[in-house]
């Protein structure tokens, strides 16, 4: 098992429990990007920012206002505590449990030296079967002055020793928008740049636009249509040069955070030696996640159109059986949701209106605004809406939610779509009052 993150760890444990001898290879920290540099620490920071945001707005609920500040060291300590709890203790405890379960943990960079053999730190390991789950790493474009001036990715941003006064975030996908809001709420002046004309281009445009307005209302300066051309240090901080359509703009900040996407972490593996086919998205796999080499499989961000932790875990669990089966069924990737965990959050499953229009599929839209939902009126969190896209046969084609807790609210829609339930199945459910799910 090459990679100790979400795409490999579940399979490793299940295969070891079944009595097979397993080696787990990891070059960095067990838990992968999500636990160490991604989902878990950023969502913890977002939650802390939300608590501060609610406290600052306490007057709207008739509660006396007081001055609130941020103890960044204490915030970082809380993030560390959450990560420790999710790991199940200190790293050595995890290693001890793995040894107890019969898993050989090998720390280091793996590289194929033959189709059945890898080298790790000078040690050679032979395997009958391999699972590659090395994930993705930040995409860093070749921009003049970037390396010399210095920049942050998500890996460094969560471990800052102190908060900057001014932060420029480049890229307005889920990562960029989440970091923009969490740092803004912690007292940083944030400017969010993107070379496109809107944030979150893969999501429903109407809901993404509404979220952009929410972020702007909080004080985040969103500037679209800006392409970063160069970076240089200056006496006043870091100077960014943007240019597009013969227009140039200069901007000063104290820290620069790149959130321009990710790329497959495959460079060190020497996959051609093993005969594994790749493309720009990652490793080429069939419906059972098998690569071009029959005894090698791939899972997680390097082998899916849905590079999320929940997809990686599901693939890893599937492969624990599939790699030993003679004729396994294909991995079921229907109705995989994703969520941008801003506040309000934006959840997405299935197709968008644009995708349906481009494919010529007839559909109708069912919408409910949270400003009309009693629970939202009670809490005062009335921003957002539910939008369902329904085919002429009543089947759900897509679901999009902008709301506080949208990641939880999308679950009934995912369940219905994955089990081919029509919209009438949701309409027939009697939900408790007052709840947001009534929308």
Q: What is the mean pLDDT of the chain?
A: 94
Q: Which residue has the higher pLDDT, 100 or 200?
A: 200
Is the per-residue pLDDT at 89 higher than 80? no
6-138+263-322 shares its CATH topology with 146-260: yes
pLDDT given at position 245: 66
Q: Please state the domain extents for the chain.
A: 6-138+263-322, 146-260, 338-438
- Provide the phi-psi class of 214: left if phi over 0, else alpha when psi is between -120 and 50, else beta: alpha
The pLDDT of residue 60: 83
Which CATH number fits the domain 146-260, given the four candidates 1.10.150.120, 3.50.50.60, 3.40.50.300, 3.40.50.720?
A: 3.50.50.60
* pLDDT score of 45 more than 80: yes
Average pLDDT for 109-122: 96
Averaged pLDDT, 298-320: 94
Mean pLDDT of 213-240: 96
Average pLDDT of span 381-385: 94
Q: Which CATH class is domain 6-138+263-322?
A: alpha beta
Q: What is the per-residue pLDDT across 6-32, written as a single tens digit (0 to 9) for each?
A: 888 999 999 999 999 999 999 988 888
- For the chain, percent of residues with pLDDT exceeding 90: 85
- Whether this prediction's pTM lies above 0.85 is answered by yes
Measure the N-to-C terminal CA separation of the chain; round to a whole number of Å. 43
**152-182 pLDDT tens trace:** 999 999 999 999 999 999 999 999 999 999 9
pLDDT tens-digit readout, 181-196: 999 999 999 999 999 9
Quick: pLDDT tens for 262-286. 999 999 999 999 999 999 999 999 9
CA torsion, ordered 195, 256, 158, 215, to nearest 10 deg: -50
Q: Does domain 338-438 have CATH number 3.40.50.300?
A: no
pLDDT in the model for residue 348: 98
């Amino acid at each position: 098992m090459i990679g100790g993150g979400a795409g490999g760890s579940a399979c490793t444990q299940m295969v070891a429990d079944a009595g097979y001898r397993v080696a787990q290879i990891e070059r960095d920290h067990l838990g992968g990007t999500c636990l160490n540099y991604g989902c878990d620490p950023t969502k913890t920071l977002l939650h802390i920012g939300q608590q501060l945001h609610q406290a600052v707005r306490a007057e709207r609920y008739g509660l006396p206002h007081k001055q609130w500040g941020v103890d960044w060291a204490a915030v970082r300590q809380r993030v560390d505590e959450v990560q420790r709890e999710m790991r199940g203790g200190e790293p050595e405890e995890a290693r001890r449990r793995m040894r107890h379960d019969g898993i050989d943990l090998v720390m280091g960079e793996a590289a194929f030296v033959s189709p059945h053999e890898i080298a790790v730190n000078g040690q050679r390991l032979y395997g009958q079967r391999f699972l590659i789950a090395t994930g993705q790493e930040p995409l860093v474009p070749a921009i003049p002055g970037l390396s010399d001036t210095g920049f942050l990715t998500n890996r460094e941003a969560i471990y800052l020793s102190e908060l900057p006064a001014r932060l420029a975030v480049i890229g307005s996908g889920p990562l960029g928008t989440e970091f923009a809001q969490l740092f803004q709420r912690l007292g940083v002046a944030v400017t969010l740049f993107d070379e496109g004309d809107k944030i979150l281009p893969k999501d429903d445009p109407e809901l993404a636009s509404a979220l952009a307005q929410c972020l702007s209302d909080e004080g985040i300066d969103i500037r679209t249509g800006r392409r970063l051309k160069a970076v240089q240090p200056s006496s006043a901080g870091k100077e960014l040069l943007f240019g597009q359509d013969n227009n140039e703009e200069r901007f000063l900040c104290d820290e620069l955070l790149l959130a321009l996407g990710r790329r497959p972490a495959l460079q060190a593996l020497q996959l051609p030696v093993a005969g594994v086919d790749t493309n720009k998205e990652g490793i080429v796999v069939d419906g059972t996640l098998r690569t071009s080499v029959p005894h090698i499989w791939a899972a997680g961000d390097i082998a899916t159109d849905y590079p999320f932790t929940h997809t990686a875990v599901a693939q890893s669990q599937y492969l624990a059986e599939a790699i030993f089966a003679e004729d396994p069924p294909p991995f079921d990737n229907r109705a995989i949701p994703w969520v941008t965990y801003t506040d309000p959050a934006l959840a997405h499953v299935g197709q968008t209106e644009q995708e349906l229009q481009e494919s010529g599929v007839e559909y109708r839209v069912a919408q409910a605004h949270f400003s009309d939902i009693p629970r939202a009126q009670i809490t005062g969190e009335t921003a957002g809406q539910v939008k369902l896209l329904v085919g002429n046969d009543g089947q759900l084609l897509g679901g999009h939610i902008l709301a506080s807790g949208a990641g939880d609210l999308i679950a009934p829609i995912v369940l219905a779509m994955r089990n081919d339930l029509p919209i009438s199945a949701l309409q027939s459910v009697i939900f408790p009052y007052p709840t947001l799910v009534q929308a």
